[in-house]
Structures are given as C-alpha cells and as structure tokens.
Amino acid sequence: MQFPIAAKPPVGIVFDSAMRRIDDVLALAMLHGFDGKREARIAAIGVSSGDLRAAQFCDAVRLFYAGATPEVAAMFLHSLPVGLADGKPAAESRMYRAAYPNTIKNADDTADPGTLIRNALMAQYDQNASVVLSGPATDLAKLLDMYGEKDWVARKVRLLCAADAGAWADPAGQKVLAEWPTPIVTVSRELGEALPFPGESLEKDFAYANAHPIAEAYRAYKPMPYDAPSWAMAALLFAVHPDAGYFKLSGSGNRRELVLDPQQKERVIRAYVEMASAKPVPHQPRHPADEKKKEAAK
Amino acid sequence: MITKKALPRRTFLRGMGTAVALPFLDAMAPALAAAKNSAPPVRMAFVYVPNGIIMQGWNPDYEGPLHELPRILKPLEPFRQDITLFGNLTHNTGRALLDGAGDHGRCCASYLTGVQPRKSVTNIKAGVSFDQIVANHVGKQTRFPSLELGMEDARQAGDCDSGYSCAYTNNLAWKSETQPLPPVLDPRALFERLFGNGTALTPAARARENLYRRSILDFISDDTRKLETSLGPTDRRKLDEYLSSIREIERQIEKAEQVNAQIDPHMEKPYGIPADFAEHFKLMTDMMTVAFQSDLTRVITFLVTHEGTSRPYREIDIPDGHHPLTHHRNQPDLIEKVTQINSYHMRQFAAWIAKMRSLREGDGSLLDNCMIVYGAGLSDGNRHLHEDLPTLIAGRGGNHFRSGRRIVYRKETPMCNLFLAMMDRMGIHVEHFGDSTGRLDALDLT
C-alpha cells in the first residue's frame, strides 16, 4: 500500500564543484550542516577538477558528518558515490594534504559526474532540486548532452546557482548558459568578497572535533589568520533558501545575478558560520531484532 | 527431403508431428560460405537469480586476469578463461526513485527493460526488454525469435511485492510496455515446443505416444538414415551425439513424470517438472543447449526462480525460505546459508557452461559463440542495493570478447551500457537503450 506524501522533503542539492578554493570546502561543510538540520538534502556531490584527493576528501567529510568509519559506512550507510570528472588538475591542492579515512581507493570508486547527477535527479520530486555550481560547468554541459536529460533537468530542477561568473567563460559554460532549462543565478564577484567567512570561527566553532577536516583544510589553504571569500557558500545559501531575503537579485528573466544586501550582511555571515560549523549527526545503525531484545533485557 | 551434400542451415529431420532442427555440421559450411555467412551465429542468454548475492563471495579483490575465484564463483574455476566478470554495473531504474518499497518487483522488471516500472498491481507498465529488441531483429532467421524459460511459479496477477504486480517479479522479457512474456516452466512443454511441428499434442495423442513409449527419434528415423548416408564421419558422430542428447532429455522428462505421478497424482505442478532443483535446472539448460546448437533460437531468458522467492533448498539442507534468509542482518549463520544457495545455483550454471564448452562449433566451441549473462537485479539482498550488480558473461560472443578478466567500471555505470555493447555483437546498432549513457568500453578484443 502506498501512503500519500504530506509534503515534499527539503530541497535536494546537487553540489558540483572544482574543490580548488576554500569556499568550496566551506560550502561542502555548510551542505552537510543543512542536511543534518533537515533544511536541505544532499542529492549528489561532484568534483569537476578531476582531483582524486578532493573526491577522497569529500567522501571523508561524508563519513565525518555521519560519524562512521569506512567499515561501518560500507555496512550501513547508503548514499550515492562522489562524482569525479575525467582528467587531473594541474597542481595538487595543499588543502588535501592530510589524509582522512574514506572509501575511495581509485577513480573506479567514484562516478562519472554526468551519470551521477542524472541518477540523483531521477530520485527528486519535481521542482524540488537545485544545482550549485562552483568551478567550470563541464559536468553540467555533459549532463545536457545526455539522452533526454534536458527534459529531466527542466522537470526536477528549480534553480541553478553558480558561484562564479567565470564559469560561463569557456565553451562548456556558454553551452550551459544558453541551454540550461531553469533559471540561473550567478553570485557577483563583489558579493563573495564583501561577505567573508570569519577565520576566527575556526578556533571556537570547529573545536568540538580534534581533527576537523574542514578546519584543517582551512588552515592548510593559506597562512592563518585570514577570512575567506564566500562565493560558493552564498550560492548554496541562496539555493537552499531562495526566499529568505539573504540577498538581492539584479536583472530580470531567467539569468540573474545575486548581489549584496548590506542590511543582511551579519545575518548571512551568521548563517555561514552556523551551518559550516554544525556538529555531525551521527548515523544510528539499525541493530538486528535479537540484539535489540538483548539490550532491552539489560 | 535431403539430397544435397551442402546442407542448408535450416534442415529439419521430420516425422509424424515432429521437426528436429540440426546442429551446425561441417556439411553445412559450403552452403553457408556461399552465402557469405560461414561464421556460426552469435547467441545470447540471460540466467537470472533472485534476491541478490552475497557479494563477499562473488567479487574478487583484484581486477584484470582471473586467477583464484571467490567462493561462489569457484564452480567456474575450470572455465575462468571463458568468463568475464563485471564490477560496478548499476540499474538506477531499479531503485525506489520516489516509489517507496518494492525493490524485488522493480529490480526484476527493470533488469532487461532499463526503465522504472509503474508501481501497480493491475495497471502494469515497464518497457520493451532488450532481449526482445534483439529477437525482433534476429528472430526471423530462427524458428523461435526467443525463448522465455523459468523454473518457478509464473503467476501473472496479484501483488507480489509492496504494490508491484507479480507480472514484475515473475518475468524477465517484455514484448511491449504492457506485455510481459511469461516463462515456460515445464520441460515437457518446452520439449514439445522445440521438437513438435508447431501443433500442440492432444491429450489423446500424448497418451498414445506414452503407451508405446516411442521417442521422437523413432518418428524421424527415416530422415535420419537418409541424412547419415550423405555425411562424413565427423558429422555422423556429431549428429549421433546430438540425437543422443535429445533422447537423454526425453528420458529425463519421462523419469520426472513417472516420479511425480507416484509422489502425488493430484499435484498442481505439470508432471514434467522434476521435484529436484538440480534435475530441473539440467533439463532446462540441456534444452537450451539443443536450442542454441540447432539454431532454433538465438535469444533465451531464464528466470531461475522468481524475484522475492521464498523457496526453501532442502536439497542442500536449507529448509528456510531464500528471501527471508537474504535479510540476514549481517548474522554470519544466515549469510552462510545464503552463500550456500548462491553456490548451489552457480554449480548448476557451471555444469551447463561445461556442456556448452564441450560442443564443437566452427573453429571453437558452442560457448565461444554465445554471450551467456549470469546475474541478479540486486547485489546486497539484505539492503536491496541496485549497484555493483553481480554480473558475468560466459562465452566470447563469437570470439569477440576478451574473456578471462574482471573489469571494474566506475560506480553508477549503467547496466544498459553493457546491453548496448551486446546488441552490437548481435548486429543491432542503436544509440540508446533504457538509461544507457554509452557503450561499455574495454570489452572487446580490439
């Protein structure tokens, strides 16, 4: 018997990022924060730079927020794999020097980002997914080239939010800008710089974990102290809460720009810190019935 | 009437109500060469086992050339150069995708169709299955475009899994979006279909045949004698072996019928179905062998038992139902039992592969000219996972596949990509099927 769904679940976020800047890493943390607080759901995570270390980091962060070891994850956690574009980045990112437990040994443990995003979108309610793009639009361009995919995107996605206008500079970006069937909002350069993530937050808000992967990546990215521009975080915040009045929109039609609302500056930064530093919500493994009985008998 | 030394490929030995197709004989080669078609045809079959597989016993911990095989695959050790193991193939359309429970119904219905079936008990809808697309193209060249076979319960109505019709769990092949092709379960029915002249035997005719215990070989003896005089010694031996195998199938069916009649004359099962699983499996695969050998069909689907089955396996001292066991909650004793069931299935399959490899055809074996997929629509039956589906191909698709390897693709690689590659081997070139994203690479010799 099927039960009627009372309401749609929170918006599903497809996060496709190069994972080359610290704001990508902070946005990834925010996404897990939103997911833990049931304000959004992680639909898919793709790494467009082809950096295997970045994909491993994304997987390690998944385990961190689930409170699971790779062994427990293999037994109990079930989520789509990380997407990883073909090719390698020119240089290794210093952000991923620290190694964390993860389930990715090589590229076979990741998915083609186009296929991954397609599969993830098929599991979303209509108009209940948003795509956050930070970095080149190559994965999304490939998605549009897949058979029948433009229709799926139009049906499932309500918004594409890009962290950087630079994404539209190359042929893949131009294709996405021209053919993407939903509204596109691009974060303005000034906005990301005007709303920096406060570096001082690391020492207090992330201190709950000894080796917090996000905090360690932040420290490894640049000599401390520094505040980080927030393009990807702004894109994610708008994708999750487009009607919450965090930002203003310039222009009109289906291609618009996200701009700063000076009155919302503190509120936005508070939201960044709150979500990026949200504590993990550990996975509760389901015990076999007889183990439950034993526990109850104690 | 057989008068030429260059035999046509489609030669039948005929007798009263009987038409027995011939295997590929050397005497056919000149005629075939003249027709610029000297290579034996490529055939494909799907052997589907339900409720997933214990993947720790299936996946080797290495890629590349096959050496030591994991426990469930052990029976295939002698044939490891003839098989290709695939890793990470996925059926996304078998997943819930907002439709809730019902993974068994979905995984079976989507397995060869590549589409998400409509969740319904009465208003069924899936898609044309890949085997039927192939059958539509190559089926005109054979007596049967395809054969749909099984070994258990072919109910087509009712709710078999959380709101999914039994039509979804009990069929692999779909002729159209709304028309599944139920499998033939009864070896007697299959035998008469393969070797009859197209008309069903009346009960009276069957009784008469049984009374005199005559074999179909008796009916075709005149044609057989005539043919033998025109064959060389190799072909004569091949023909003799082939006809002997048919006679052996007849004997097995008769034996099953006699045993069944003694056990319970009122049993619902058709009398030709052996009570023993292994015997039933052997009978069905023996006839599949003959069907391929004599080019009666090039496309077979074989639903070993239906998806979600709770069949016990008392043959191997497992009285528990298969499906309940697969929800083992990681308890070692239950995992062990499921592993034994998986291994038992594999032993039967390996025996069939041995038979297929033993038969010479052209420059190689019958197996060389086949693509026999063995797999399941779930990997982990405990968690109902639709990724990294247990999948292997026995045979080389006409010496085209570089076998003897394990190929691990990237996660989420659609199973339909394999189907596109297989369609290529069957001479059908389409750009898209189901949720395919391209052809499976790294498969061919080239």
| pLDDT of A295 over the 80 cut | no
For residues B354 and B363, the answer to whether their CB atoms sit within 8 Å is no
Q: Where are the alpha helices (DSSP H) in B269-331?
A: 277-293, 322-326
Q: Tokens representing A134?
A: 């930070």
CA-nearest residue to B433 within chain A is A147
Q: Helix (H) and strand (E) counts for chain A?
A: 13, 8
**Structural domain contains residue A218:** yes
> Does A58 reside within a domain?
yes
The mean pLDDT value for B49-78 works out to 97
> What mean pLDDT is predicted for residues A61-71?
91
Average pLDDT, integer, range B313-340: 96
Residues of chain A found within 8 Å of residue B412, distances taken between Cβ atoms: 80-81, 111-112, 115-116, 119
Q: Is residue A177 part of a domain?
A: yes
Which of B63, B388, B410, B440 to substitute to test the interface with A, most A CBs within 10 Å?
B410
Chain A residue nearest residue B327, CA to CA: A288
Are B377 and B111 in contact, with CB atoms under 8 Å apart? yes
Chain A residue nearest residue B63, CA to CA = A108
User: What confidence tens digit (pLDDT) does each residue in B405-425 have?
Assistant: 999 999 999 999 999 999 999
Would residue A271 count as lying in a domain? yes
Query: pLDDT band at residue B257, thresholds of 50, 70 and 90?
Result: confident
pLDDT value at B212 more than 90: no
ipTM, two decimals: 0.92
Which residue in B32, B12, B44, B30 sits closest to B366, CA to CA? Answer: B44
Q: Which two tokens stand for residue B444?
A: 């061919």
Residue of chain B with shortest Cα separation from A112 = B410
Q: Which of these, A143, A107, A131, lies nearest to A31 by C-alpha position?
A: A131
Q: Average pLDDT over chain A, rounded to whole? A: 92
Please give the structure tokens belonging to residue B422: 């297989």
Highest mean pLDDT among A1-5, B28-32, B206-210, B245-249 belongs to B245-249
In angstroms, what CA-CA distances link A145 with A102, A141, B91, B430?
Answer: 31, 6, 20, 17
**Quick one: pLDDT at residue A292?**
57
Residue B401: what are its φ and ψ, rounded to 5°? -85, 140
Structural domains counted in chain A: 1
Mean pLDDT over each residue of chain B, to the nearest integer: 90
Q: How confident is the model at residue A283 (pLDDT cuts 50, 70, 90)?
A: low
Spell out the domain ranges in chain B.
Answer: 40-45+62-185+273-382+405-425
In sequence order, the 6+-apart residues with CB closer than 8 A to the CB of A191 are: A231, A234, A247, A258, A259, A260
pLDDT digits (tens, 9 = 90+) for B155-187: 888 999 999 999 999 999 999 999 999 999 999
Q: Which residue has the tokens 């192939």?
A: B134
> Tokens for B86?
């695939």
Structural domain contains residue A141? yes
Alpha carbons within 13 A on the beta-carbon side of A136:
15
Q: What is the mean pLDDT of residues B256-268?
A: 67
Nearest CB neighbour to A81, from listed B331, B412, B435:
B412
B291-to-A183, B234, B246 alpha-carbon distances in Å: 57, 21, 11
For chain B, list residues whose CB is within 8 angstroms of any CB belonging to chain A: 87-88, 90, 92-93, 95-98, 100, 116, 119, 163, 329-331, 383, 385, 408-414, 431-432, 435-437
**pTM score of the predicted model:** 0.92
CATH number of the domain residue A155 falls in = 3.90.245.10
Q: Among partner residues B93, B330, B432, which is closest to A147 by beta-carbon distance? A: B432
B385/A116 touch (CB, cutoff 8 Å), yes or no: no
Nearest to B412 among A1, A2, A112 (CB): A112
Q: Is residue A138 part of a domain?
A: yes
Per-residue confidence (pLDDT) for residue B210, from 0 to 100: 61
pLDDT value of position B2: 45
User: Could you tell me the pLDDT band of residue B268, with boundaries at 50, 70 and 90?
Assistant: low
- Return the higher-pLDDT residue of B399 and A261: A261
Q: Which residues of B touch A149 (CB under 8 A)?
A: none
Contact B377, B418 (CB under 8 A): no
Q: How far is B383 from chain A (nearest CA, A)?
A: 9
**Which residue in A has a C-alpha nearest to residue B328's C-alpha?**
A288
pLDDT tens figures, A45-63 = 999 999 999 999 999 999 9
- Angle, in degrees to the nearest 10, between helices A138-145 and A171-179: 50
Both tokens of residue A26? 């902070």
In the predicted structure, residue A259 carries a pLDDT above the cut 70: yes
CB contact under 8 Å between A78 and B97, yes or no, is no
> A1 vs B408: CB contact, 8 Å cut-off?
no
Taking residues A261-272, what's their average pLDDT? 97
Residue of B nearest to A110 (CA): B411
Instruction: Please list every residue in chain B whose beta carbon sits closer than 8 Å to the beta carbon of residue A125.
Output: 98
Mean pLDDT across the stretch A142-160?
95
| Residue B270, pLDDT above cutoff 90 | no
Find the mean pLDDT for residues B85-105: 97
Contact (CB<8Å) A115/B98: no
The total number of residues written for chain B in this structure: 446
Out of A52-61, B196-205, B254-263, pick the least confident.
Answer: B196-205
Query: Whole domain around residue A264: which residue ranges?
Result: 12-297
pLDDT of residue A7: 77
**Chains A–B, number of C-beta pairs less than 8 Å apart:** 60
Contact of A174 with A166, CB cutoff 8 Å = no
Is pLDDT at A87 greater than 60 in this prediction?
yes
- Rounded to the nearest angstrom, the minimum Cα separation between B371 and chain A is 25
Between chains, do A115 and B437 touch, taking CB under 8 Å as contact?
A: yes
Chain A positions touching B88 (Cβ under 8 A) are 108
Q: How far apart are CA A170 and CA A174, in angstroms?
A: 6
In a domain, A4, yes or no: no
Rounded CA gap, A288 and B328, in Å? 9
Please check the confidence at residue B3 and state whether its pLDDT lies above 50: no
B187 Cα to chain A: minimum distance (Å): 37
Residue from B411, B417, B430, B431 to probe the interface with A (highest A Cβ count within 10 Å): B411
pLDDT at residue A1 above 50? no
Instruction: Report CB contact under 8 Å: A289, B97.
Output: no
Residue A100 falls inside a structural domain: yes
Mean pLDDT of A78-106: 90
Q: How far is CA B262 from CA A5, A230, B186, B208, B252, in A?
A: 55, 80, 18, 20, 15
Question: Which bin fits B17, alpha (ψ -120 to 50), beta or left (φ > 0)?
Answer: left
Residues B250-264: what's their mean pLDDT?
A: 79
Question: Distance from B299 to chain A by nearest Cα, in Å?
Answer: 27
Distance CA B356, CA B370 (A): 9
Lowest pLDDT segment from A93-107, A159-173, B217-231: B217-231
Judge: A108–B385 Cβ closer than 8 Å, yes or no. Answer: no
Structure tokens at A190: 């000034």
Residue written as token pair 């990807």 = A232
What does each C-alpha distance from B104 to B52, B116, B170, B416 come to in angstroms?
9, 12, 10, 19
Cβ-contact B41, B9 below 8 angstroms = no
Closest residue on chain A to B162 (Cα): A1
Residue A243 Cα, gap to closest chain B Cα (Å): 26
Q: Give strand pairing partners of B44.
A: B299, B371
Q: Is beta strand B179-180 parallel, antiparallel or unpaired with respect to B299-303?
A: unpaired
DSSP-assigned letters across all residues of B150-213: ESS----SSEEETTEEHHHHS-S-EEETTEE-PPB--HHHHHHHHHB-SSPPPHHHHHHHHHHT
Query: Who among B97, B408, B411 is closest to A111 (CB)?
Result: B411
Torsion of CA B93, B96, B101, B104, to 10 degrees: 20
Rounded mean pLDDT, A164-169: 96
For the record, the structure tokens of B242 come out as 């082939």
Please report the pLDDT score of residue A2 as a whole number: 44
- For chain B, helix, strand, coil in percent to 5 are 40, 15, 40
Tokens linked to A204: 């207090």
Determine, for residues A108 and B411 on separate chains, whether the beta-carbon distance falls below 8 Å: yes
Token pair 């039509």 is found at B167
State the helix-helix crossing angle for B233-263 and B277-293, rounded to 10 degrees: 150
A289 pLDDT higher than 60 = no
